[in-house]
Structure 1
């Protein structure tokens, strides 16, 4: 099948008009109509209800849309990968859990981008289980995470240490965990959860749970609240008087790890990235302005 037939079908679907679709594709209206008829003959269905100034998809046309879009996206990705191969550009995929982006990857990516111009990066947010599976399947080059899997095929190294500090938007003095107001529970990984249950057991029932520190911070600045945040994320807001340390609650030291497959064909590039990330620790994030509600 000619891929141009699929492109034409999607253009008519978007425009709901054969003439406008023809203009966008730099074709004649007759050529557009011919392509649509060819596609209809291929599937042996009618794809559009054709009435004057009112082109609508048939049920068969509606079903074809996601397949057509997926086909075009797959071809675009294939073209990109083939082009990278011919241009000898290294293709590196890096991913982390939501909170590793908040703490580290978000700012570290810019350093990789600036210092490694010959690398084509793919950056994603994945769950811990997805990270492990994709590393083992060689579909992911680098993972940054809090609780690395103990798998022989993977190489795990420490990347960064930081503190999770208890902070609040309320100025009244807190002496016990039970006095914490509007607590937001952030998922900082398995070891933090176990530590939290043991060391801060008397804390109030969370008003919300989230896997993203920036969501928690945004809620705190808008509506008030308390949470364990990375020291580098909380610092500028403490200095501005928007957040306050809860001095009577313990601090948790968190370690960040980098993981990659021992037999990855991009090992040299990965080592360069690892050394860069370890040497150039991300700076404190830019200050977020609270939204007006």
Structure 2
């Protein structure tokens, strides 16, 4: 099976348009059509119905879609595993946007200073997506606030950091609107005990920078890491509210061929002591 045919099939199914798929793949429209015909000939079925600009998946195409996505994911993971030996010095680290913004960027700078022979890829995504990438070997190391739940993962508790409510003015929560900054599913249990049930979030985001920038505009307050927030201009900790301690974990596959490198990197402190 030619993976380029599957890649083309996935792009056409996404755009539902041969011309837009051709632009995304840097191909001519005739090349895209030819690839789809090749795939249909190999499978012996029609994958799309074509009525002018109305491109739809057939029942066969719908059935192929999840398999094509899985095959491409496996193929990308395989390419990474057997890539050139020089690329074994590359480490892919994944975390949420807020962790990168508030803690991991400075840590990454320290890693570059201490390990000049390594190359890093900093990947931002939701935890669920990153766990899947870790399981599929598309990710080497995950930094998260939740402990792993799969036996094939190794983990190390890196420390704890404090979250507190911050606003762009000195005020109490009764005068402010709530902005929800996502810190993981289990955080919402703690959040519920500290936020009034009447405080419906006017904004939900995974980015501390976005939440912080909108506090003044929305007359809002949100949970931010204390050490990071104190370094930002124009932020005030909301009076008479509690701080919340959150753990920080490093997670990797037990049989990863990079686990020695990972353990060496984790000697560089990530959480302020």
TM-score by length of 1: 0.60
What's the secondary structure of 1:15's corresponding residue? helix
In structure 1, distance between residues paired with 2:68 and 2:146: 39
Residues in 1 aligned to 2:146 and 2:239: alpha-carbon distance in whole angstroms: 27
Point out where structure 2 has 5 or more consecutive residues left out of the alignment.
none
How far residue 17 of structure 1 moved from its aligned partner, in angstroms, is 11
Give the alignment of 1:129-208 within 5 angstroms: 131=131, 141-149=140-148, 154-159=154-159, 161-171=160-170, 173-174=171-172, 179-188=174-183, 190=186, 193-194=189-190, 197=193, 200=194, 203=196, 205-208=198-201
Contact kept, 8 Å, 2:104 with 2:270, in 1: the verdict is no
| 1:89 correspondence with 2:71 | no
Equivalent residues, number? 259
Change (3 A) 1:57 1:269: same
Distance 1:253 1:32 in 2: 53
Structure 1: 5+ residue stretches without partners: 282-293
RMSD: 5.0
Name the CA shift for 1:228/1:180 in 2 (closer, same or farther; >3 Å): farther
Alignment of structure 1 residues 1-293 onto 2, 5 Å: 1-2=1-2, 14-15=18-19, 24=27, 38-45=38-45, 57=55, 59-60=57-58, 63=62, 75-84=75-84, 86-87=85-86, 89-90=88-89, 92-97=91-96, 99-112=98-111, 115-119=115-119, 121=121, 123-127=123-127, 131=131, 141-149=140-148, 154-159=154-159, 161-171=160-170, 173-174=171-172, 179-188=174-183, 190=186, 193-194=189-190, 197=193, 200=194, 203=196, 205-208=198-201, 210=204, 212=206, 214=208, 215-237=210-232, 239=233, 242-260=234-252, 264-276=256-268, 278=269
State the Cα distance separating 1:269 from its structure 2 match: 0.7
**Structure 1: distance between partners of 2:21 and 2:101:** 45
Rg: which structure is higher?
1
TM-score under structure 2 length normalisation: 0.63
- String of CA shifts for 1:99-157, please: whole Å, max 9, x gaps: 433432344345546745434546353437974x8778877543322343588873423
| SS of equivalent residue, structure 1 residue 79 | helix
* Superposition deviation, residue 270 in structure 1: 0.4
Deviation string 1:183-212 (CA, Å, 9 cap, x unpaired) is 334454647844872xx47x4632317463
Q: 1:164 to 1:82 in 2, by over 3 A?
A: same
SS of the residue corresponding to residue 250 of structure 1 reads: coil
